[in-house]
Structure 1
Amino acid sequence: MDVSKKRIVVKVGTSTITNESGNIDIRAIDHLCRAISGVENKGYDLVLVSSGAIAVGANKMRLAQKPKEIRMKQAAAAVGQTELMHLYDKLFGEYNRMVGQILLDNEDIADPVRSRNLKNTFDALLENHIIPIVNENDSVSHAEIESEKKLFSDNDMLSAYVAAFCGASKLVIFSDIDGLYDGNPQTNPDAQLISRVEDITDELKSVASGSGSNRGTGGMITKLEAAEYATRKGIDVLITNGKKPEMLYDIIEKKKVGTLFVAKE
C-alpha cells in the first residue's frame, strides 16, 4: 500500500464534539479518538482537522453567548484550543497514540517556503506515527475568522486543503447529519439520503442549506465546496454522522456509508 492510499483526513465539526450547551462532549471525543486509533492501528495514517475552539473557549469563559467581536472570538479561541488539545492528548494517550498540534492560516498554504516547511512537518509527524491535529489559527489570524481575505472560509474547506496538501486518498467530514439529502430532513420527513455523487452540480448546491447547529460556522454548502475542491484533486470525500465515528472502519472496508463524493481521475 503506497503512502497516498494510507492517508486519511478526518474533519470533525463543533456540533460533533460539544453538546447543546456548548460544553465538551467527552464521550463523543473518546469514541472519536478510539476509532481513529483503531484505524491507524490497521496501517493507515490519520490527520484530524478539529473545529470547536471558539465554542469551547466561550463556554469555559462563561460567556452568555458565542462572542461576536473579533478580539473576544480570538480570546475564546486561545482558551478553547488549549482545552481541546489537553483532551485530545489525554484521550488519544489512553489508546497509546501521540498527537501534535498544527495551527494554520492562509499564508502557511500560499507562501511557497512556509508551505514546503509545513508539508515536511506533516510528513515527519505521520512517519513517526504521530496524529496531527489541525485547526485554523484563530487566536492570531482574524482573517480566518471573518475576513474577506480568508482562504479556507470554514474548517470544511481547511480539511480539503489539508487532504490535498498531505496527499490523502480520502477525506471524511463528520457532521451532525448522516450525509447529503435531496431535501432538508429537518423540515421534510420524506427527504432521502443521497449515497453517491459523481458530479457536484448547481442543482445539488441549491439543495444545500445553512448550518444544522448554532455551535458551528458551516453548513452543507461549505461541505459541498470542500468536496468539490478535494474531488478535483483526486480525493474521495465522505460526509457522514460524527456521532458514529466507528463508521471509519466501514469506510476503510469500502462499505456504503453516508454520502460518497467520487474523486475525479
Structure 2
Amino acid sequence: MIKVGTSTLIHQNSKVRLAVIDKLAHVMSTLKKDGKDVILVSSGAIGVGMGVLHLDSRPVKISQQQAVAAIGQAELIQIYNEALHKYGMCAAQMLITKDVIDYPESHTNVMNNFQALLSMPNAIPIVNENDAITVSELDHLTKFGDNDQLSAIVTNLVDADLLIMLSDIDGFYTANPLKVPDAKLIDRVKTIGPDIIAAAGGHGTKFGTGGMTTKLKAAERILKHNQQMVLANGKDPDIIFNILSGDMVGTLFTKI
C-alpha cells in the first residue's frame, strides 16, 4: 500500500510534478510485475484542479471545492494512466465514500472490487475519497477526515503488509525540522504516546489538508491493527525500493 500526498505531487506554482508521477508509475509497475499487490492512495485532486483553473488559493466554499476536485480528479487520473501505460499497466480509479465502513453491503462490494483488481496482472488501483460529492473529507467532520486516514483504512480493509506514506518530509522528527534545526529523525516508533503527539505540527501546504497530526492518527490505526507503516520523503519514489529492501529509511511505525 502506497499513499502519496499533494505536496509530493504538485509544485507550489500549482504545476504537477510529472517526473515524480512517472517514477511512481515505474516503481508500482515493477512491483506489480514482481508479483506484489500494489494499491495507491493518491491525494491531489483539488491541487491539480487549482492548476487547471489557474487558481492561486484553495476555494473556501464547499461547492467550489467539490467542483475543483471534480476537474482535478479527471486530470489526475489521466496523468497516472498515461504514465502507467508506458510500463504496460493501467490505472483503475476507485473513489470511495465513508459508507464502505458504515454499511456491510458497501464494504463487501469494495472488497470484491479490490480483490478483482489485484488479481489482474496489469491494473493498479488508485484510490481517493470522492471529494466531488462528499462534504465530510473537505471539512474534517467524519471518519475519513483526509487521505492519511483513508490510506490507513484501506490498509486495514485489504490486510496489507505495509503502508508506505510518501510526504514532503524525511520522516517523523522530535520537533518540526523547519523550525527547530537540531530536531532529530526518529527511526522507529512502537507506541504513540504524549511525547510523540507533542512533537507533531499543524497542516501542510495550501493545496492539501494533511499534516503530521493526521499522519500520527493514521499510524495509530495501523498499529492498532498490528500492521506497519513507513513515513518517508516522496520526492524520489525509488525510495520505495529501499524501504522494501529493509533499508533504514524514514520512520517505521511498528509494534515489532
TM-score by length of 1: 0.93
Residue-by-residue CA offset, 1:30-51 (whole Å, 9 max, x unaligned): 1111112122222211100000
Distance 1:210 1:18 in 2: 19
Pick aligned residue for 2:136 from 121, 134, 143: 143
For the pair 1:40 / 2:32, whether they are aligned, the reply is yes
Tell me the CA shift for residue 212 of structure 1.
3.8
How far did 1:99 drift? 1.7
Query: Where does structure 2 lack aligned partners over 5 or more consecutive residues?
Result: none
Contact 1:169-1:234 at 8 Å conserved across structures: no
Shift of 1:89: 0.6
Give the match for residue 223 of structure 2: 231
State how 1:192-207 maps to structure 2 within 5 Å.
192-207=184-199
Aligned CA RMSD, in angstroms, stands at 1.2
- Which stretches in structure 1 are left out of the alignment for 5+ residues? 1-8
1:206 alignment partner AA: A
Cα distance in 2 for partners of 1:212, 1:146 equals: 15
Q: Which residue of 1 aligns with 2:56?
A: 64
Greater Cα shift, 117-126 or 34-43: 34-43
SS class of match (2:64)? helix
Asked whether the 8 Å contact 1:237–1:263 carries over to 2, the reply is no
Cα distance per residue 1:137-167 (max 9 Å; x no partner): 010111221152x211110000000001011
Q: What is the rounded CA distance, in whole Å, between the counterparts of 1:234 and 1:61 in structure 2? A: 42
Whether the 8 Å CA contact 1:108–1:115 is kept in 2: the answer is yes
**Which residue of 1 is the match for residue 234 of structure 2?**
242
Q: Deviations over 1:111-131 (max 9, x none)?
A: 100100100000000011321
Tell me the equivalent position of 1:133. 126
Aligned partners of 2:56, 2:201: CA distance in 1, in Å? 27
SS in 1 for 2:58: coil
Displacement of 1:202 after TM fit? 1.6
SS in 1 for 2:229: strand
- 1:174 shift after superposition: 0.3
Check conservation: 1:18, 1:24, Cα contact below 8 A: yes
Matched with 2:43 is 51
In 2: Cα distance, 1:260 partner to 1:114 partner: 32
Distance 1:147-1:12 versus aligned 2 partners, 3 A rule:
closer
2:3 maps to 11
Secondary structure of 1:255's partner? coil
SS of corresponding position for 1:139? coil
**2:251 aligned with 1:251:** no
> Map of 1:156-195 to 2, 5 A cutoff?
156-195=148-187
Q: Deviations over 1:12-36 (max 9, x none)?
A: 0000000011111111111111112
1:101 aligns with 2:63: no
Instruction: Report the 3-state secondary structure (helix = DSSP H, G, I; strand = E; otherwise coil) of the residue aligned with 1:46.
Output: coil
Q: Map residues 81-92 of structure 1 onto 2, 5 A cutoff.
A: 81-92=73-84
Deviates more, 1:70-79 or 1:95-104: 95-104
Count of residue pairs brought into register by the alignment: 255
Code of the residue aligned with 2:214 in structure 1: it is T
After TM superposition, what 4+ stretches of structure 1 lie above 6 angstroms from structure 2?
none
- Cα distance in 2 for partners of 1:147, 1:50 equals 18
Asked whether the 8 Å contact 1:17–1:24 carries over to 2, the reply is yes
Report the secondary structure of 2:14's partner residue: coil
- Which residue of structure 2 aligns with residue 3 of structure 1? none
Q: Give the whole-Å Cα distance in 2 for the aligned partners of 1:147 and 1:261.
A: 24
